[in-house]
Amino acid sequence: MNKKIWLASPHMGGSEQKYVKEAFDTNWIAPLGPNVDAFEKGLAKYNQIDHVAALSAGTAALHLALIMLGIEAGDEVIVSSFTFAASVNPIAYQGAIPILIDSEPDTWNMCPKQLETAILDRVSKGKKPKAIILVHLYGMPAKTDKIMTIASRYKIPVIEDAAEAMGSKFMGKPVGTFGLMGFYSFNGNKIITTSGGGALVSNDEWLISRSRFLATQARECAPHYEHEVIGYNYRMSNISAGIGRGQLEVIDDHIDRHREIFNYYKRELSIFKGITFQQEPNADYYSNYWLTCIQVNPEKCFGVTRDHIRIAMEGENIECRPLWKPMHLQPVHCDKPYYGDGVSDELFENGLCLPSGSNLSDEDLVCVVEVIKNILSKALRKQAKEIEELVAYDQ
């Protein structure tokens, strides 16, 4: 069996252990501590934002954001349908109702037209959505200007789910910093990792200090434990933050490599008209290309489907995975209001994420491309032979 080629695996830079060792040496084995403070400062600087709270997960960050916006049972919250379940779960934690919005074909993210249709329809039905969760999927910035314009027209706050998109930019500005709040994830497979963790960011100081308060069991200022509201245990540990500090030193190298990987796949596979990419529509968009994602059009790929490629990869011990299954197609959410016309259905049907970790070698990439080229050229030869036989039969 060939060596396993992973989709996206943790990639340490070198100084992570130094910061973790510091935590051990000073016995700061706790949520909070000098690494957490330094990691928050580093994240604020990197993302050009004033305030950051380091938390136990991206999901926790989104949950706190919704709580601070006062989202309660029965409220409606707009969210991209084409995403990972974690973008939607915290809405359900609050007993609120997700209003699912389809993708547009350029960035594969939330469609501004469907968004406006949904807002008008919800308002006409008597309930104005209380928040918009805008996802920048696979690192690709959404049509952020259009979405923000609509959101401010109807005065609905935006929370950006930039879990997969740290380092991506729209018109030169980091994604995650356009809305009232944004969040990043540092789960094991994201662009940088703290083994598990996330961060909530905002230019509003109160929101971030409030999120720190809620994330540490909502303990009031008193010598004893005093509680006026429900709290959570959502803070990042000083050990995890040590890993994060090391990772921040190498994030730009990671992104350079992710972009190189995308460009390699694009160059190598561009001979096939039936394979298309999620790609920056123009120079306003800068993606970290966390994962390189393709669409496989079977009619233009000599009958080869996404699953043919995926199974061939599996046989070569290469991990690849279909795109996220849209939330409006998920058993747990298919009863929720949905505004769309099938864009994300098709993306899911034909889409595949290719191995994209920044620690993949050039040889790994050659292996991946070989599998795709082999399966497509075999199918092409088979089709050519069938045509030859048809022609021969005619004569």
Ligand X SMILES: *Cc1c(COP(=O)(O)O)cnc(C)c1O
For ligand X, the binding residues (CB under 6 A) are 57-59, 83-84, 86-87, 135, 161, 163-164, 185, 187, 198
Closer to ligand X by CB, 99 or 163: give it: 163
Task: Tell me whether residue 197 or residue 246 sits nearer to ligand X (CB atom).
Answer: 197
Phi, psi of 215 (to 5 degrees): -75, -10
Name the residue nearer to ligand X (CB basis): 198 or 340.
Answer: 198
Please identify, using beta-carbon distances, which residue of 28 and 186 lies nearer to ligand X: 186
Kindly state the tokens that stand for 197: 């963790």
Contact 253, 25 (CB under 8 A): no
In the bound complex, which residue of the shown chain has the CB atom lying closest to ligand X?
58
Nearer to ligand X by C-beta: 16 or 376? 16
Q: How far apart are CB 165 and ligand X at their closest, in Å?
A: 8
Q: Which residues are CB-neighbours of 323 under 8 A, at least 6 positions away?
A: 82, 293, 347, 348, 351, 352, 353
Residues 8-46 as b/e (b if ≥16 CB within 10 A, e otherwise) read: bbbbebebbeebbebbeeeebeebbbbbbebbbebbbeb
Strands 275-277 and 285-286: unpaired
Look at the chain and count its residues. 395
Whose structure tokens read 């700061």?
A: 28
Nearer to ligand X, 141 or 198 (CB): 198
Based on CB atoms, which residue is closest to ligand X, 57 or 118?
57
Residue 327 Cβ vs ligand X, minimum distance, rounded to whole Å: 11
Least distance in Å: CB of 161 to ligand X? Answer: 5
| In the complex, least distance from residue 174 CB atom to ligand X, rounded to whole angstroms | 16
Residue 330 beta carbon to ligand X: minimum distance, rounded to whole angstroms: 14
How near is the Cβ of 260 to ligand X at its closest, in Å? 22
Sequence-separated (6 or more) residues with CB below 8 Å from residue 363: none
In the complex with ligand X, the residue whose CB is nearer, 89 or 117, is 89
Q: Which residues have CB under 8 Å from 379's CB, separation 6+?
A: 301, 302, 303, 304
Nearest approach in angstroms of CB 11 to ligand X is 16
